């Protein structure tokens, strides 16, 4: 696979906990689990992983731009507040994601970051993908389908 295409593998441990293997020796597997009472909360749930992906991508995009501008922050803290809502059918959905980035910059550096603040969001793969919608095609192996129906169970997208 190329950098433009990748795969992750999730393996059920027990209950609702999955171990995620990111492949290509990209660190230790991550355990995700649903919060109680459904799961045991042994790891972040998928909504929190999405929030972390948005925050991490935005933080990395800001850092990249700052470093290109020869501004090296002493640190960066990113806080992601996610609001859950119920849709018309009463199902929980992520309704809003608020991200606050706090780079630690010297006073003289603050004057040089204006252009980065204008540009960095556009380079965040995850945030811009979530904002515009992602086609997600789902198939379930081993499920007999009525004649003439596709193996795609559902699709989410723009």
The predicted model scores a pTM of 0.85
Q: Which tens digit of pLDDT belongs to each residue from 34-76?
A: 999 999 999 999 999 999 999 999 999 999 999 999 999 999 9
Q: In the chain, what percentage of residues exceed pLDDT 70?
A: 89
Q: Which residues pair with 155 in a beta bridge?
A: 137
Q: Which tens digit of pLDDT belongs to each residue from 126-149?
A: 999 999 988 878 767 877 656 555
Pick the more confident residue, 151 or 37: 37
In which element (H, E) is residue 51 found? helix 46-68
pLDDT of residue 62: 95
CATH of 45-134, one of 3.90.580.10, 3.30.300.20, 1.10.287.110, 1.10.10.10: 3.30.300.20
53-59 LR contacts (CB < 8 Å, sep 24+): 53/126, 54/80, 54/97, 54/99, 54/124, 54/126, 54/127, 54/130, 55/79, 55/80, 55/99, 56/126, 57/124, 57/125, 57/126, 57/127, 58/99, 58/101, 58/120, 58/121, 58/124, 58/126, 58/127, 59/101
Task: Decide if 114 contacts 48 (C-beta within 8 A).
Answer: no
Q: Which tens digit of pLDDT belongs to each residue from 69-125?
A: 999 999 999 999 999 999 999 999 999 999 999 999 999 998 889 999 999 999 999
Domain positions in the chain: 1-43, 45-134
For residue 151, give the DSSP letter: S
Averaged pLDDT score across all residues of the chain: 89
pLDDT of residue 149: 56
- Token pair 């660190």 is found at 27
Indicate the pLDDT class of residue 153, thresholds 50, 70 and 90: very low
């Amino acid at each position: 696979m190329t950098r433009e295409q990748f795969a992750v593998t999730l393996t059920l441990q027990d209950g609702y906990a999955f171990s995620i293997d990111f492949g290509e020796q990209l660190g230790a597997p991550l355990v995700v689990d649903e919060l109680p009472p459904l799961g045991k909360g042994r790891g972040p749930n998928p909504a929190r992983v999405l929030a972390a992906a948005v925050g991490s991508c935005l933080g990395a995009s800001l850092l990249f731009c700052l470093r290109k501008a020869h501004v090296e922050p002493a640190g960066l803290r990113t806080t992601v507040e996610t609001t859950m809502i119920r849709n018309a059918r009463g199902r929980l959905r992520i309704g809003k994601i608020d991200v606050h980035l706090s780079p630690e910059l010297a006073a003289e550096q603050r004057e040089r970051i204006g252009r980065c603040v204008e540009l960095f969001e556009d380079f965040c793969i995850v945030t811009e993908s979530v904002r515009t919608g992602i086609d997600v095609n789902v198939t379930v192996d081993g499920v007999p389908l009525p004649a003439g129906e596709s193996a795609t169970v559902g699709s989410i997208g723009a």
